[in-house]
């Protein structure tokens, strides 16, 4: 990697006349910024090239005689089997839940955040046969889904 020729384009956004226009000085001045463009030709770099060489160290500049270093090692692959959780989640009785900080009984019409979005509590089950669920009617898509109480965040009512 020599890259002694002056750059004609900014490697971030391809504007003409980057400051500084020497590649090594540009890296020193701008720090860890990805090179999305070839600063000598103005060509856009492929995503995989940017991913493997984000700072443009492998780009061949005009007048360079040496070949750039090539990545030869394969990317690391995750080979372990993912952990499977088979334990049933703990269900709290109403008495136990009253002692847990932040655990509160929902109020019909109270705003809540669920995995589908934000909406209002339409119904809930409070402990019959260890069933703690909350139905939230969301504002967008007008969905009414039952969620486990741990998946719903109740928005406090300001009085």
pLDDT score, position 32: 81
Report pTM.
Answer: 0.41
Q: Residues 59, 43, 54, CA angle at the centre, nearest 5°?
A: 45
Sequence-distant (≥ 6) Cβ neighbours of residue 91 within 8 angstroms: 130, 132
Task: Report the sign of the C-alpha dihedral through residues 50, 54, 58, 61, in that order.
Answer: positive
**pLDDT single digits (tens) 112-139:** 888 888 888 888 886 655 567 888 888 8
| Domains identified in the chain and CATH numbers | 1-68 (no CATH), 94-154 (2.40.10)
């Amino acid at each position: 990697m020599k890259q002694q020729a002056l750059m004609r384009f900014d490697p971030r956004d391809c504007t003409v006349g980057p400051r500084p226009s020497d590649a090594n000085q540009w890296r020193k001045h701008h720090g860890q910024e990805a090179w999305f463009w070839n600063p000598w030709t103005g060509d856009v770099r492929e995503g995989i090239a940017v991913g493997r060489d984000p700072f443009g160290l492998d780009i061949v500049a005009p007048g360079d005689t040496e070949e750039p270093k090539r990545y030869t090692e394969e990317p690391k692959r995750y080979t372990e089997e993912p952990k499977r959780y088979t334990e049933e989640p703990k269900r709290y009785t109403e008495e136990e839940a009253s002692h847990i900080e932040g655990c509160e009984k929902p109020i019909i019409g109270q705003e809540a955040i669920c995995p589908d979005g934000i909406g209002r509590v339409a119904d809930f089950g409070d402990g019959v046969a260890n069933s703690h669920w909350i139905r939230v009617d969301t504002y967008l898509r007008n969905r009414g889904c039952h969620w486990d109480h741990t998946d719903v965040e109740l928005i406090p009512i300001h009085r």
